[in-house]
Structure formats: structure tokens, C-alpha cells
Amino acid sequence: MGKDTRAGSRMPARVLGWEMTGVTGRINCREDFPHHRRQRLRQVAGLALAALLMGAPVVGLGPAQSALAQDDALAKGDPTQMEYASIAYLDNAEMPPNVGQADFSVYIEATGHTLSGIFLDYWRATGETAMFGNPISEPFASSDGLYSQVFERGVLQYLPAKVWTVEPFVRPMPVGRLLIGERAGGLATHAGGKRLATGSRATGMRFLAPDDPAVQAALEQGGIYDSDSGHTISGAFLDWYETHEGDFYLGSPLSEVVIEDGARAQWFDGGLLVETADGVQLAPLGDRLAARFGVSTARVSANGAPDYDESLFITAPNPEPVGTGSGHGPKRIIVSIAEQRLWAYDGDTLVLETPVSTGLDPNHTETGRFRIRYKVPTEDMRGATDAAGNVVWVVGDGGSAPAGSIPYGVPDVPNVMYVNLDAEALHGAYWHNNFGQKMSHGCINLPLPVAAFLYGWAPVGTPVTVS
């Protein structure tokens, strides 16, 4: 069940202009949702945050104050009867709304800090320690008003403006320019309007025009070029970038490959990638950033929180275990409409493979690059179609179904994981056993045991690609 909004965000294939779709949308308690206008947002590298952070004190944690704010994802039926979610504020930092993230904290013994909520979900989705390392601080309110937490390889922040989009709404603080600027003695503006580090203006830092031989060489080798920052990404750095959704989590490259502390490295808006004996990784900048922003990294008590273990989140067994491959990394889900199948990966390891049922024409399932953005254990799904079978109304629209339309409804749909802006979701289906054939109004129907397993295994933030 579900209808298209075509709100996916896709990375251009070879030449990056950093255009991303960032449509704000609502999820309305079923699977079918009216079309939203597609908006194109151009992500332009800037220095506003770095300028704000340089010399600005970190806001300490204060008493949480509660406020009520409408949660679009929970709106049901009559708009005068909207459900409201409690949104708390730590000083000036807005806390994330409840979108199905973990409702308990865990303790990371290795670094002596806790993880909870959205940061815990995104940490699991991006590969636990594999990407950002362990937390080395407790959450705090940054000077730019964002709920933040320092990890071994960066500072993660909750971005309220991205919550109702298909993009990640937890990302690293864009500290690349700040750190380059501090090292190089300041930031200056290139004659062409591009901002670069001053100082020696090392070859790896200079802006490259599209016709520069270095750009052409990178493209010929399968690399990509960012026209905003004037830099390329190729080789092992590009492999990491594409595997880890670097367009979202790192942003624009700020240099070519340079040497940092004797290792090949490359600067990005969101941090520094370095080549190590274990492959390309984010550089361990967390301690440096914590000191820069005045954030304590002292160990804290667990206060009863359990030690982190992935089994804490798995409430149902994997009914279709595969377990091929090796390694550990970002979670991801791939759905093939042509094959009517789903594959779930943990890094390079195929965890589960299963038949599914996607949208039956005329209500075909949206294709694109999405993620699990809102989860609910059970939900009633109701709507109406016209005589040709097109979904023309859903309960989340408010009001009543159009005259002459044909109502449909399914109560208590289990393990609902919304993925796009058209309220299409992965969810269990108890009303049929015809998996491997198109059956829905647009959503991705799963066998009940599969849905129960994936609901715990896949946290908010898990990428979902439908093709």
C-alpha cells in the first residue's frame, strides 16, 4: 500500500554539483499519501558554522524544559485531534521527536559514556564503531543550538530541519574548514569566490577548475568532481565515500589527497579521511574537537544502563539467515521490484534474503534512495481508491474520502517502518501469503517473521534502496 512522492535523494553519477532532494513531508498513518512538490536543494559549502564555532563557547547542559509541539508523523484523522509529542530542550538545543528510535540507553564500557535515542540509532545504522567510533562525551548543546555528542571520529548533531526528509537527520558537525583554517592560519576567499585555507596554499588545497588535468585524470579513473569546492574524489577514498553515504555524512571534499601525519588523507566538510592499515577511515579527531569546544570527556557512571550489545535490539529471530560475506559496517536494505525480493546487509555480510510484495499497478512502489525514517510497532491503515484502483484519499489527509470512492482498510498492521515521503513502508502483512508477487497499494509487504526481525535489526537511519 502506498503512493509516490518521488522525494528520494540521489548522488549524481560522476560530476557532483551537490544537488540533493530535501522535501519536507508528513507520514500519515497508513501507506498511501498524496504527491508533494519536488524541491531541489543545492548544498553549497559554507563557512557560517565554522565562523560561529570559532571562539564561541559551548552551551552546557541545563535542566530539561518540556514543550508541546505537533509531531507530523503522528497526525491521524481529524486535524483537530492531532496527537502531540513532547519535545524537550536542553538549554537552546531542540531534542529529537519520537520517530521510533531506541527508548533506552546503553553504556559503552570502552570509553565510559552512554548512548541513547537518535544518536544510538544512527550509530547502529552507520556501523557502530566502524564509522564514527565510540562516544567520548555525553550529549550537550552546541553553540549553534544543536543537540550534539562527541565521538572518537567526530561530533554528531541532530538536525531538526532534516527530520521530515529522506536524508539523514543525524550528521557530523562540519568541522573540516574550521580545522584546516586553524592549522593554516586562517581562511581566505579564492578569486573565483571559493574559500580555501591560507598559509602555504599546498597543491592539494588549491581550487581545481573542471578542465584542470588533475580533474580530467581523476574522472578518467572513475572519480568524481565537486564543482562547488573544486576538488575530486577517487580511488579508495571514493570507495569509502560511496559505501558510507559520504554525500550526506561528509559533504564536499576540501582538498585532494594530501599527507597528514605521514598518511594519505583527504579533507571534507565533515572531517578527515585517512588511509590506515585497516583501510580508509575517519580520522580520530574527537579528542581534539572536544578540547576545542570545551566538552568534558571524563568517564561517567552507567547509572543502570546495560552494556551495549546488538542482541538488546533483536526481539525476534532471523527467519531467513544467510550470513555470507565478512566484515562489519553500515546496515542497508535493498529491495528489487523486478525480483520482488529484499536483501539486508550488515557491512559486506548478507544477513537476510526474503521475497516481498510491492505495489500493484496503478499504485506502484516508489523507486529511489531512502532510509528508515519513522517506525511504529502497529498501525491501522485506511484509504480509498477510485474505480480504476488509484488511491485518491488516505486517512492521514484528514476530512473524508471523495464521494463515490471505494474504501479500504487494514487494522493492526505490524512492524511498520516508513521509508519515503509518500508514507510507503516496510511492514508485516498477515492478510496474504503471496510474497514474490505484487500485492500492495505501494508499501513493501513482508512475511510476518521477517518484519518482526527487521523491526529490531534496522534502526532509524538505515538506508533503503528500492529499484
What ranges do the domains of the chain cover? Answer: 15-39+313-466, 202-283
| CA–CA dist 106, 307 (Å, integer) | 6
- Report long-range pairs for 103-107 (Cβ below 8 Å, ≥24 apart): 104/305, 104/306, 104/312, 105/305, 106/305, 106/306, 106/307, 106/308, 106/309, 106/312, 107/302, 107/305, 107/306, 107/307, 107/308
User: In the β-sheet with 224-226, what is the strand arrangement from edge to edge?
Assistant: 15-16, 224-226, 231-233
Q: What is the pLDDT of residue 218?
A: 96
HSE-CB at 465 with a 13 A cutoff on CA atoms is: 11
Res 184: pLDDT: 60
Residue 326 is predicted with a pLDDT of 64
- The pLDDT, as a whole number, for residue 299 is 97
15-39+313-466: what CATH class? mainly beta
C-alpha cell at 305: 544502563
Phi, psi of 157, deg, nearest 5:
-135, 145
pLDDT at 91: 66
pLDDT tens series, the chain, 467 aa: 443 322 333 333 333 332 222 333 323 333 333 222 222 222 222 323 333 333 333 333 333 332 222 223 333 333 333 332 333 346 678 999 999 999 999 999 999 999 999 999 999 999 999 999 999 999 999 988 899 999 999 999 999 999 989 999 999 999 999 999 887 654 333 333 344 333 334 678 999 999 999 999 999 999 999 999 999 999 999 999 999 999 999 999 999 999 999 999 999 999 999 999 999 999 999 999 999 999 999 999 999 999 999 999 999 999 999 987 766 789 999 999 999 999 999 999 999 999 999 999 998 999 999 999 999 999 998 888 888 888 888 777 778 889 989 898 899 999 999 999 888 999 999 999 999 999 998 999 999 999 999 999 999 999 999 99
Instruction: Say what the pTM is.
Output: 0.80
Which residue is it, cell 526474503? 354
- Digit-coded pLDDT (tens) for 84-137: 233 334 667 899 999 999 999 999 999 999 999 999 999 999 999 999 999 999
Q: Model confidence over 18-52: pLDDT tens digits?
A: 222 233 332 333 333 322 222 222 222 232 333 33
* Cell 565537486 belongs to residue: 226
With beta carbons less than 8 A apart as the criterion, state whether 94 and 295 touch. no
